[in-house]
Amino acid sequence: MSAKFKPNILIIDDEISICESLQGVLEDEGYTVQTALSGEEGIRILAGEHIDLVFLDILMPGGMDGIETLKRIKQMSSDTEVLMISGHGTFDLALEAGQLGASDFLGKPLSLDSILRKVEAISAKIAIRHSDRDGDTDSHAHGIVGDSSQIQEILLTIRQVAPTNGRVLITGESGTGKELIAHAIHAFSERTEAPLVKVNCAAIPQELIESELFGHEAGSFTGASKKRVGKFEQANGGTIFLDEIGDMSLSTQAKVLRVLEEREYERVGGNQTLRTDVRVISATNKHLPDEIESGNFREDLYYRLNVVPVHVAPLRERVEDLPLLVDYFLSRFCRENGKQTMSLSDAAMNNLRRREWLGNVRELRNLMERAVILCPNQTIDESDLSKEIRRDSTDGDSSEASLKDARQEFESRFILNCLKGNSWNITETAKQLGIERTHLHRKMRQYEIEREP
């Protein structure tokens, strides 16, 4: 599976504003996106091109509404993933869409963060399906690269645990590749055709985490205008990946413990007991025994999750993996950017060996991508690795500028430099800035920052 797989996307919606805003956000993330204002137009596009994922409005005027269009899409290509969207959806319509093969049902107004998470999950699902068909099951297909004893032990554990239903707790610093291990375990498991649903427990407000995990009934709290299907329900038959589990509140931990022990739960505000069959993989960059000692994590939940522990060592403790990782990233980014194969000089490799790698493999990946884009030669030298983002100071008289103007000028320039340094990757730039992707999109619109051709 390619960690950089980007599906071709088609948006079918009679509201041109929805098409344009959704297209803009997805294209900023690097996806190839087309739009159609009717079911008939969408079907014509699907007949002539390969489309991996369709956003489909359920209520459209004309001869083909969303349900009829969904039927036609599935007749043409059963593998095409379809996300239904509507501002007037009912449970019956959502149920019918699900029975016809829709992946999910999204309500308007659309939450951009939720949409991007769903697209990422579906991208991984499609990529796994492609790699399975191609027989591509080596570790490099999942970005798990290295010859060190630590990596070889992890690969052995993946092969041993994947065919089972055993719960796995992945620990390690941020940027070490914990999510890649979760993807590999799911891809090599018996559940690979079922969903892999990811939940970042640190990114969801505590007051919403239970609704995100277990769903909620309409009217269960302010703003809950309709029923929501939770992640455990979405992952039924597949795998749920609870990332940053150490940031989950104690009250939510108790409910997750019940799911693990009894395989049942209720939606928020509901009284119907639901059952689920999911494989749970969790990850954290915290030392959970210390969190237990501090009273921040339940000991009984820890032992339920930690059936098979997998620890990912930081890159500075396995520098022998650097040459393989460098070759892997250089090959990948040269291919993606249409460049001839590039390599590192001995001085550049020695430079990498001396670094602390506080950002781990993620930091190396970003450094290699930047070097591929900016280096004019096929050999990357030490000087090419030291080109960092410049924060030029403002010259000239500032007497006419207010503090607010100066702050906005600096913020605009800083965001632009970060975007360029991350090759206009919105997700990586938002991580670097420490803000949500939707916040970054708003800032880009505010400062009229547009992606360079």
For 105-118, what is the mean pLDDT? 79
pLDDT at 355 over 60: yes
Cis bond before residue 109 (omega within 30° of 0): yes
Is 56 in contact with 43 (CB distance < 8 Å)?
A: no
pLDDT at 388 over 50: no
For 404-429, what is the mean pLDDT? 80
| Residue positions counted in the chain | 453
Give the C-alpha separation, 209 to 262, whole Å. 20
Q: What percent of the chain has pLDDT over 70?
A: 86
pLDDT at 439 over 80: no
Instruction: Please calculate the CA angle 229-208-205 and round it to the nearest 5 degrees.
Output: 140
Is 448 in contact with 419 (CB distance < 8 Å)?
A: no
Residue the block writes with tokens 């209520």:
59
**Confidence class of residue 414 from pLDDT cuts 50, 70 and 90?**
confident
φ and ψ at 364, to 5 degrees?
A: -65, -45
Residue range 312-339, pLDDT digits in tens:
999 999 999 999 899 889 988 998 888 8
Residue range 62-110, pLDDT digits in tens:
778 888 999 999 888 878 889 988 766 556 676 777 778 887 777 777 7
The confidence score (pLDDT) of residue 124 equals 64
Residue range 10-57, pLDDT digits in tens:
999 998 999 999 999 999 888 999 999 999 999 999 988 889 999 999
Higher-confidence residue of 59 and 349: namely 349
Residue the block writes with tokens 């509507």:
86
Is 39 in contact with 62 (CB distance < 8 Å)?
A: yes
Tokens of 125: 């699902």
The confidence score (pLDDT) of residue 128 equals 54
pLDDT at 415 over 60: yes
The confidence score (pLDDT) of residue 100 equals 82
Give the C-alpha separation, 198 to 252, whole Å. 16
The confidence score (pLDDT) of residue 5 equals 66
Name the average pLDDT for the chain.
83
Higher-confidence residue of 453 and 3: namely 453
**Confidence class of residue 453 from pLDDT cuts 50, 70 and 90?**
low
Is 173 in contact with 311 (CB distance < 8 Å)?
A: no
**Confidence class of residue 2 from pLDDT cuts 50, 70 and 90?**
very low
Which uninterrupted H or E stretch holds 35?
A: strand 32-36
Give the C-alpha separation, 386 to 240, whole Å. 40
Full set of structural domains in the chain with CATH: 8-110 (3.40.50.2300), 137-313 (3.40.50.300), 316-385 (1.10.8.60), 403-446 (1.10.10)
For 231-250, what is the mean pLDDT? 92
Contacts of 361 (CB under 8 A, 6+ apart): 175, 176, 177, 315, 325
Instruction: Please calculate the CA angle 154-159-161 and round it to the nearest 5 degrees.
Output: 90
Determine whether 361 is exposed, middle or buried from the number of CB atoms within 10 Å of its CB (0-12, 13-18, 19+): buried
Give me Rg for the CA atoms of the chain. Answer: 23
Which uninterrupted H or E stretch holds 168?
A: strand 168-171
Q: What single letter denotes the amino acid at residue 106?
A: L
Higher-confidence residue of 411 and 80: namely 80
**Confidence class of residue 125 from pLDDT cuts 50, 70 and 90?**
low
The confidence score (pLDDT) of residue 402 equals 55
Is 9 in contact with 55 (CB distance < 8 Å)?
A: yes
Give the C-alpha separation, 132 to 146, whole Å. 22
* Pick from 126-140, 235-249, 428-442: least confident: 126-140
**Confidence class of residue 344 from pLDDT cuts 50, 70 and 90?**
very high
**Confidence class of residue 390 from pLDDT cuts 50, 70 and 90?**
very low
For 392-419, what is the mean pLDDT? 63
Alpha helices in 338-381 (DSSP H): 346-354, 360-374
pLDDT at 394 over 70: no
Q: What percent of the chain has pLDDT over 90?
A: 38
Contacts of 372 (CB under 8 A, 6+ apart): 330, 333, 334, 337, 339, 342, 380
The confidence score (pLDDT) of residue 401 equals 46
pLDDT at 361 over 90: yes
pTM: 0.57
pLDDT at 260 over 60: yes
